[in-house]
Amino acid sequence: MSIRRDALYLVNPGYILADAGYDVWLGNMRGNYYSRAHVKYNPDRDEEFWDFSWDDMAKDDLPSMIYYILNATKYTQIGYVGHSQGTMIAFAEFGNLNNIVQNNVSFYAALAPVAHLSHIKSPLKYLFNTPKDPEYVWHLLFGYKEFLPSSNIIKWLAKYACGSVIFDPLICENILFVICGPDKKNMNNTRMEVYVSHEPDGTSVKNMIHFAQIFLSKQFQAYDYGSSEKNQLHYNQTTPPIYSIRPMKIPTAIFWSGEDWLADPDDVAFIFDNIQNLVYEKYISDYNHLDFVWAMTANKIIYEDLINQMQKYHPSK
């Protein structure tokens, strides 16, 4: 599930960075509102368009975006700020021994960082933890194109997200909040209709299957094609490659929390155990997964520290 970059910055960290003197570029992952164009396929018609997971975002989309920015600005390095899936693709790509893109990144801030998913509290775990192959179950429920849950499935998940507590229907009926957590104490209630009108945004069923595989395997790994033969065809080995964070040399700041349904502290511990150049970390006890980008207090609690760290390693011009 992706958060559209313009929606992510509704509480304006982009403007805050711009005010600090940075040239700000907002990336959009394939499949969302601004990334549905293709030279060959129509996302509304062609199943082939949706044949991607975050593997493809890490190895193809992220480097393409970085090199596009460098070419346009004539800079040699960027500072990278990622949230949720944006951190997952960064850890996968920046830790790749065979790439040079990390040489073009001078600082990396990871908000609600994700690599492992085995301890998630989100109701997604009930869809991830299937008795049959997750690929079979997810295709049966959602098809082969865009991940667009039916209202019945949203209501089923919401039962676990909201429980017996009466929450605003805008929250319980929006799949993004059902997945990430319905607690909105840190959000601006007057902006709630704006948030839910922008979100959720699109991703592929295959991407969600990949998340399910990460949950089940307890590994930070590439997409599993389901058989030794298919994996051999794609990877020249019978099992999906395991991603490693250890080779990543970029100065990294991590912002994490205790109430995050998707970046659980037990899973974030894997990142801390493997990261080699951690220059700053901040724990916020009461933030959920969305508070990192939408909380009213995010400017003081997150962005001021983020900018202070970025200025050390990637000073504004």
> What residue ranges define each of the domains in the chain, with the CATH number in brackets?
5-313 (3.40.50.1820)
> CA dist 95 to 32, 102, 284, Å?
25, 8, 26
Q: What is the gyration radius of the CA atoms in the chain, in angstroms?
A: 19
* Tokens at 245, concatenated: 């964070």
What backbone torsions phi and psi does residue 173 show, to the nearest 5 degrees?
Answer: -100, 5
Give percent of the chain with pLDDT exceeding 70: 82
255-271 residue pLDDT tens: 999 989 999 999 999 99
Output the DSSP codes for 267-281. Answer: HHHHHHHH-S-EEEE
89-132 residue pLDDT tens: 999 999 998 888 999 999 999 999 999 999 999 888 888 988 77
155-211 residue pLDDT tens: 676 666 666 554 566 566 566 667 777 667 777 767 666 666 666 667 999 999 999
Q: Average pLDDT over the chain, rounded to whole?
A: 87
Q: Which residues are catalytic?
A: 84, 289
- Within 78-150, where are the H helices? 85-94, 124-128, 134-142
